C-alpha cells in the first residue's frame, strides 16, 4: 500500500516539475489575456477537470480577480448567459475532445469572449479553439493501471494556481488586499489582528528581575504558566527571557540550583516582536527558523516589555476589529 501511494505521489511531483519546465511564451500570453479582461473570468471543465476549474475560480476570487465556474452541460440549457463580452473563458480538459467543452468554446468565440485552454493534449480541437493553450500533458497518471486521473488532475490544478498567482503579481495584489477579501478564518485573522490583540500582558505575565533567585522564577512561571518569564531591568526594559527549556537545561548543568538567579539562566538577546505587528508577522518569525519558537516577548519600540505571545495564542485568537 505504501509503495503504491509513494509511487503515485512521486509521479505527480514529476509531472508538476515537467509542467513548470514547459512554461514560456504561451503562459505569458495567457496571463496577458487574463490581465486585459474588462469583465470576469469564467472557468469550465467536466469531471475531474471540472473540479480543477472550480478550484481555479475560487483561487482567482481569493486573489482579487472576479471569477465563476460554468458547468459546460448546464451552459447548453441557459447558463451560457453567464458569459458576456469582456469576459475570459478558461477551459480545462485532459482529452481536449469533450463535446460539451468544444461547443462552449465555439459559442464563446462567436460571442467575442477570449479563451484560454489548459489541455492534456495540444493537438486537439479544443486547443485550436483557444487564444492561448497551456500544455497540461502527463506521461502517466501514477496508479498501477494508469487509469485514475491523478497526475493529470493535479497538473491542471497546479497550472490554474500558477495562472492565478502570476495574475495577482501583475495586478500587484498585496497582503492588505488579501486581508480585505478574507475577513474570516485563520488566514484572515492573522492578517487582520495585531500582536497586541492576542498577547498576554500585565498581571498575566510572570515578570522577574535579573537578581531574583531561580526558585522565585520557577514559582512565578508555575503560577502564570505561559512557558516563559520576562526578565526586566529597573526601567522595565526587557533584559532577558527564561523559558521552560532554559529551566530544564539549568537543572541538567547544575547539581544545586539554589545559588542561581534569573540572570544566570536567561537568554539575554531573545527574538522579540512589536505589539503592532500582525499575527502573520509573528507566525513567520516564530516558525520559519531551524528551531521554532513557542513563545516570544513583545517589546515596545523604546525597549519596554509589553507582554508575551505564544504560538498557541495565534491559533486561538478570536476574531475582532482591526486596530
pLDDT of 158: 97
Q: Where do the domains of the chain lie? A: 2-173, 195-316
pLDDT for 321: 44
CA distance 171 to 309: 35
Residues 6+ apart with CB under 8 A from 153: 48, 49, 51, 52, 94
**Residue with C-alpha cell 512557558?**
227
- pLDDT given for residue 60 in this prediction: 94
DSSP string of 257-293, one letter each residue: -TT-BHHHHSBSS---B-TTSBHHHHHHHHHSSSS--
The C-alpha atoms of residue 223 and residue 174 are separated, in whole angstroms, by 43
pLDDT of residue 273: 96
Q: How far apart are CA 88 and CA 149, in angstroms?
A: 26
Q: Is the domain defined by 195-316 classed in CATH 3.40.50.12160?
A: no
Q: So what's the pLDDT on residue 184?
A: 64
CA 284: distance to chain centroid?
12
Residue 271's pLDDT is: 94
**Which residue intervals of the chain are DSSP H helices?**
2-22, 25-35, 47-62, 72-75, 99-111, 125-128, 151-170, 175-181, 185-192, 195-198, 214-223, 244-253, 262-265, 279-287, 311-316
pTM reported for the whole predicted model: 0.70
- The pLDDT value given to residue 320: 47
Strand partners, 134: 118
The phi-psi region of residue 295 (left if phi > 0; otherwise alpha if psi is between -120 and 50; otherwise beta) is beta
DSSP letter at 252? H
Angle of helix 185-192 versus helix 279-287 axis, rounded to 10: 100
For 135, the enclosing helix (H) or strand (E) is strand 132-135
DSSP strand pairing (295-299 vs 305-310)? antiparallel
Distance from C-alpha of 234 to C-alpha of 288, rounded to nearest angstrom: 33
For the record, the C-alpha cell of 270 comes out as: 531573545
Phi/psi of residue 281, each to 5°?
Answer: -60, -45
Contacts 24+ apart (CB under 8 A), 296-301: 296/270, 296/271, 296/272, 297/228, 297/230, 297/238, 297/241, 297/270, 297/272, 297/273, 298/195, 298/196, 298/199, 298/201, 298/272, 298/273, 298/274, 299/238, 299/272, 299/273, 299/274, 300/274, 300/275, 301/274
Q: In this predicted structure, what is the pLDDT of residue 303?
A: 84
Collect the ranges in the chain with pLDDT lower than 70. Answer: 182-186, 317-323
What is the C-alpha to C-alpha distance for residues 46 and 209, in angstroms, rounded to an integer? Answer: 67
255's CB contacts (< 8 A; 6+ apart) are none
Q: Which CATH class is domain 2-173?
A: alpha beta
Tally the C-alpha atoms within 13 A of residue 157's C-alpha that lie toward its C-beta: 16
Q: Which residues pair with 200 in a beta bridge?
A: 308
Residue with the three cell numbers 498501477: 144
Amino acid at each position: 500500500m505504501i509503495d503504491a501511494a509513494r509511487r503515485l505521489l512521486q509521479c505527480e511531483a514529476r509531472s508538476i516539475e515537467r509542467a513548470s519546465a514547459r512554461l514560456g511564451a504561451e503562459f505569458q500570453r495567457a496571463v496577458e489575456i487574463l490581465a486585459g479582461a474588462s469583465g470576469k473570468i469564467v472557468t469550465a471543465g467536466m469531471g475531474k477537470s471540472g473540479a480543477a476549474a472550480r478550484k481555479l475560480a475560487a483561487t482567482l476570487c481569493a486573489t482579487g480577480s472576479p471569477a465563476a465556474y460554468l458547468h459546460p452541460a448546464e451552459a447548453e440549457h441557459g447558463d451560457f448567459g453567464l458569459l458576456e463580452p469582456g469576459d475570459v473563458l478558461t477551459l480545462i480538459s485532459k482529452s481536449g475532445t469533450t463535446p460539451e467543452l468544444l461547443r462552449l468554446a465555439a459559442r464563446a468565440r462567436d460571442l467575442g469572449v477570449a479563451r484560454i485552454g489548459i489541455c492534456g493534449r495540444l493537438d486537439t480541437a479544443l486547443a485550436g479553439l483557444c487564444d492561448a493553450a497551456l500544455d497540461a500533458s502527463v506521461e502517466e497518471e501514477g496508479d498501477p493501471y494508469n487509469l485514475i486521473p491523478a497526475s493529470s488532475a493535479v497538473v491542471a490544478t497546479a497550472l490554474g494556481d500558477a495562472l492565478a498567482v502570476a495574475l495577482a503579481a501583475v495586478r500587484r495584489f498585496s497582503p492588505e488586499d488579501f486581508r480585505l477579501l478574507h475577513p474570516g478564518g485563520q488566514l484572515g485573522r492573522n492578517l487582520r489582528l495585531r500582536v497586541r490583540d492576542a498577547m498576554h500582558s500585565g498581571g498575566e505575565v510572570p515578570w522577574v528581575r535579573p537578581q531574583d533567585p531561580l526558585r522565585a522564577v520557577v514559582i512565578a512561571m508555575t503560577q502564570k504558566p505561559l512557558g516563559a518569564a520576562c526578565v526586566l531591568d529597573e526601567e522595565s526594559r526587557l533584559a532577558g527571557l527564561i523559558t521552560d527549556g532554559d529551566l530544564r537545561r539549568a537543572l541538567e548543568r547544575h547539581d544545586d540550583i539554589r545559588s542561581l538567579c534569573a540572570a544566570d539562566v536567561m537568554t539575554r538577546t531573545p527574538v522579540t516582536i512589536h505589539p503592532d505587528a500582525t499575527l502573520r508577522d509573528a507566525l513567520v518569525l516564530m516558525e520559519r527558523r531551524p528551531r521554532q519558537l513557542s513563545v516570544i516577548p513583545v517589546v515596545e519600540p523604546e525597549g519596554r516589555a509589553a507582554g508575551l505571545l505564544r504560538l498557541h495564542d495565534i491559533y486561538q485568537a478570536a476574531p475582532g476589529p482591526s486596530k
